[in-house]
Structure 1
């Protein structure tokens, strides 16, 4: 008598070959990209983002090289720190615009300001103006560009239709950012090799004009706003003691709302703390990359663009990796691993300080960067209320820039005191040791963010179609699953109003005084009339076969449909269809 085969007895030939896994991952990535580009709004947001970033990176490369030629690593470090400190202070103020003005207009204004100031920078350098004036204009350019990212990140959830589409578009945006990290520095380095900074400025102006063109073409879906403060999609609820006044009047309250939301939401706070560890390394890289270029490359400091381009190649691969990893439902866990991979590769450079280990380390770090950015952005978009989302991104940007400034400030000191090798070792230890203890918390966040079981069903119910994805997900988390056999009266005519029901599977029959009114099947709902009209049940509903129902309590149902005109009109049409038959 033979035994049943176990999993370990499965022939190797039956296991999925590695190429099948690769093809499956590529197919998953292609589906995500097709989903994003099938949505005109998301397509245009991403193409605008690409143009804006290419210009930003090419400009940063040109100014960094110009600053190094002017005053060496010290000039670069001082300018980077001053610029980041000012951006850190300005970001909460500029990000307030993303919650108070149309986000498209904020993006256009940011791009247009950058375009003009970059041309001014090029003109100053071309005319041989004092270096201080160039540094000032370059810094102001960074400040005027700061509202773009918070506005863009807060705009995406308004255009995306589902959590999966939200994650996919963040992945595509990160891939585009990776392309920009490669193309921008490479373009800047190429142009500098044959021309000058003013020429780079002209090319940058074209890239920002590209971005403006696509932002102008974005058409926002119509979703009526719930009651909230002026210009807000709804009342902010961060789950903390101060949540009730975060969107209240007063300039200070407006600016600080993002920071208070971060402090109130524990999971968001943990993610941003870890993110800040990564940006300490990113800030330090503005200095150690220039030093490594001067020590390891024959081209000297001008090789900064080459190093950044290698990071960009890794980031392009990492962007696809972020899209492929997203369906696993481990956004927070993968985020933590990505941050750790910003530290460990630096140890390789410390052990073997030469060109090829440097390129290998920058390739790995570049690949980890999209996973960090995509996952952090998606986590915030999932957890933060829309009413304060722009300001949370602005507050986060402020904290990230501040920690980048810390990295840029301590790196020259470390190089001076202990040298490049030990300096980057200290930075690597900081991010790795700081992240490891928080990995269990990230695992818990992943559990909290998993899609509720009934969300897929709820999306197919026509009554709820107008609701934004974040609200729909919250409603799905409140559903109570009930498995019933055939012949059970779920509601009875004349009984007090109770839950609203959605049919996950099976079939029910609605009767009035013994007369059949209708037969309902999967993805249909019933029980709404008594709830909205505040009357007893108007019919008896009985299961005609084994049925699975998802119950939504009365108060949750009323809250879900209140304040949305399109849901209200659909409800009126549903009642007019059912009432005449009674």
Structure 2
């Protein structure tokens, strides 16, 4: 085509900054907050977040119940055994289940695992009420917990297909962290209250009720449409997928920073599971219900931290926020080691929860952004393996540390080690922030075109990589009536004159698209479009246009409606 030549990328950026596609930047806080409200208005995101929150409320509830139950039945040894039994199987199972999720769909996997967990915890509560051996109760709850690790990585892989903009995706992930911390507050309080009024068996049954609500919520969740399969490569096997995910994870924060810090932080978390019970019941001489409200302190801090994270965490500082959160965990544990009273211990655990909010959300945004959505699911599965391995190791070692050094010294050592590791990896994660891939400016422009607006963020980012940019001088013809059509065009900057059978039609300006009729109907061009002054365009080729638009019901209907409106004014 005469006058057609590739433009430098700044042409798209200029339009995003100045034109209707870009809008005025009002700050990270507004973007995240507004994106969160928009995200929760989407039914599938709302179901996913509600299911996540209720699942966690049940998880935190039965964890508190089991800590009290195991300590009463077998002391610190049975508590540690529960910690190992609830994490080691999950560490081995999660990468395999995440690979299977790519085949059966995230919604199907969440429904199956959450329903199974509900059944197992209900059964455990019944056995505890009937005074069955403690190992049977521990085994059932541990089996249920081993399935819990698939929820967050599955959620993280689903959200990019449900969100529409990077701000919406970030806000939805921060909202998930807020739901986690709310559950971490309410779940232990609920379990602690039941422990004070009844017993651990009843607390297990109440927790199973929360899991049942989670099951009902995710049951209504739809898997992303067929477009997801169209954008994902063929899988080569479950074990190869898991290995590929692990290798990809090792590349984040070299040398293996994501793996090292995630293992260290969850090692401390696993150790804290045991050491906190000993500290509360033996050292501080608090009652059984204290296990509930001390764990609730982490949730309270997490709520405060999540509110702060929603304003401070952005794509530009994910790495630094992650490291700061890990370091904050260490500082909170250090404060806990010297707590003379339950009130001070509560305050220290609030600090731990606050740090957790800054560490958690960035980790689950970093992996898809750095590794790409094709690898992210497998990497997230490998990440959960690291998390489970850290929790298991910490739980297993904690009784020996308490016997060797005493509970306070043990907390002091593991807290200090975590801070030192976080400081050591500060530079690599700051480098990640500097090199973080940002959304292509073309994404914002394409999002303003009604035909493309309903497409998921993953598809939009892929489409933005495939578009071509063009420059036309005044009077140059872009498309000519009666010629074959191979592209859909979007005006970036300038104006274009339109004529049908020699008669003028309204001009096209920035953000307007044209060329859909020839692609959708398989007919020659029905109009002539000419540059009126300098004209900058993006083009999407026929194959990409039909692939992405036809696989999304809303986009397809919008494209057909546009074609019908234009044909109604100028029938062929």
The alignment's TM-score, normalised by the length of structure 2, stands at: 0.81
Partner of residue 392 from structure 1, selected from 379, 389, 399: 379
2:79: which partner in 1? 76
**Distance apart, 1:502 and its partner CA:** 3.0
Q: Is residue 429 of structure 2 the alignment partner of residue 458 of structure 1?
A: no
Contact 1:339 1:372 in 2 (8 A): yes
**Distance apart, 1:126 and its partner CA:** 1.8
1:413: which partner in 2? 400
Q: Is residue 103 of structure 2 the alignment partner of residue 100 of structure 1?
A: yes
Q: Give secondary structure in 1 for the equivalent of 2:510.
A: coil
**Distance apart, 1:147 and its partner CA:** 3.5
Contact 1:500 1:527 in 2 (8 A): yes
1:20: which partner in 2? none
1:5: which partner in 2? none
Q: 1:509 to 1:38 in 2, by over 3 A?
A: same
Aligned equivalents of 1:526 and 1:26: distance in 2?
Answer: 35
Q: 1:273 to 1:498 in 2, by over 3 A?
A: farther
Q: 1:441 to 1:283 in 2, by over 3 A?
A: same
Q: Which deviations, in whole Å up to 9, do the C-alpha atoms of 1:550-578 show, x marking residues without a partner?
A: 54586xx7446536524678767777858
2:226: which partner in 1? 224
Q: Give secondary structure in 2 for the equivalent of 1:467.
A: coil
2:198: which partner in 1? 195
**Distance apart, 1:457 and its partner CA:** 1.2
Q: 1:564 to 1:575 in 2, by over 3 A?
A: closer
Aligned equivalents of 2:196 and 2:557: distance in 1?
Answer: 63
The structure whose RCO (Cα within 8 Å, separation 6+) is larger is: 2
Aligned equivalents of 1:328 and 1:136: distance in 2?
Answer: 41
Gapped regions of structure 2 (runs ≥ 5): 1-26
Aligned equivalents of 1:268 and 1:378: distance in 2?
Answer: 20
Aligned equivalents of 2:165 and 2:102: distance in 1?
Answer: 21
Q: 1:251 to 1:351 in 2, by over 3 A?
A: closer
Q: Give secondary structure in 2 for the equivalent of 1:502.
A: strand
Aligned equivalents of 2:530 and 2:187: distance in 1?
Answer: 64
Contact 1:94 1:146 in 2 (8 A): no
Q: Give secondary structure in 1 for the equivalent of 2:221.
A: coil
Cα RMSD (Å): 3.8
Aligned equivalents of 1:392 and 1:569: distance in 2?
Answer: 35
**Distance apart, 1:515 and its partner CA:** 6.7
Aligned equivalents of 1:510 and 1:258: distance in 2?
Answer: 51
Contact 2:493 2:537 in 1 (8 A): no
**Distance apart, 1:339 and its partner CA:** 1.5
Aligned equivalents of 1:37 and 1:266: distance in 2?
Answer: 32
Q: Give secondary structure in 2 for the equivalent of 1:464.
A: coil
2:8: which partner in 1? none
Q: Which deviations, in whole Å up to 9, do the C-alpha atoms of 1:350-392 show, x marking residues without a partner?
A: 4565544432321111012122222211223444554554443
Partner of residue 259 from structure 1, selected from 219, 225, 246: 246
1:234: which partner in 2? 231
Contact 2:107 2:218 in 1 (8 A): yes
Contact 1:158 1:220 in 2 (8 A): no
Q: 1:483 to 1:419 in 2, by over 3 A?
A: farther
Matched residues, number: 539
Q: Is residue 427 of structure 2 the alignment partner of residue 448 of structure 1?
A: no
1:182: which partner in 2? 185
Gapped regions of structure 1 (runs ≥ 5): 1-23, 227-231, 237-244
The alignment's TM-score, normalised by the length of structure 1, stands at: 0.80
Q: Is residue 421 of structure 2 the alignment partner of residue 422 of structure 1?
A: no
Partner of residue 565 from structure 1, selected from 550, 560, 563: 550
Aligned equivalents of 1:534 and 1:125: distance in 2?
Answer: 68
2:128: which partner in 1? 125
Q: Is residue 44 of structure 2 the alignment partner of residue 47 of structure 1?
A: no
Partner of residue 504 from structure 1, selected from 464, 467, 492: 492
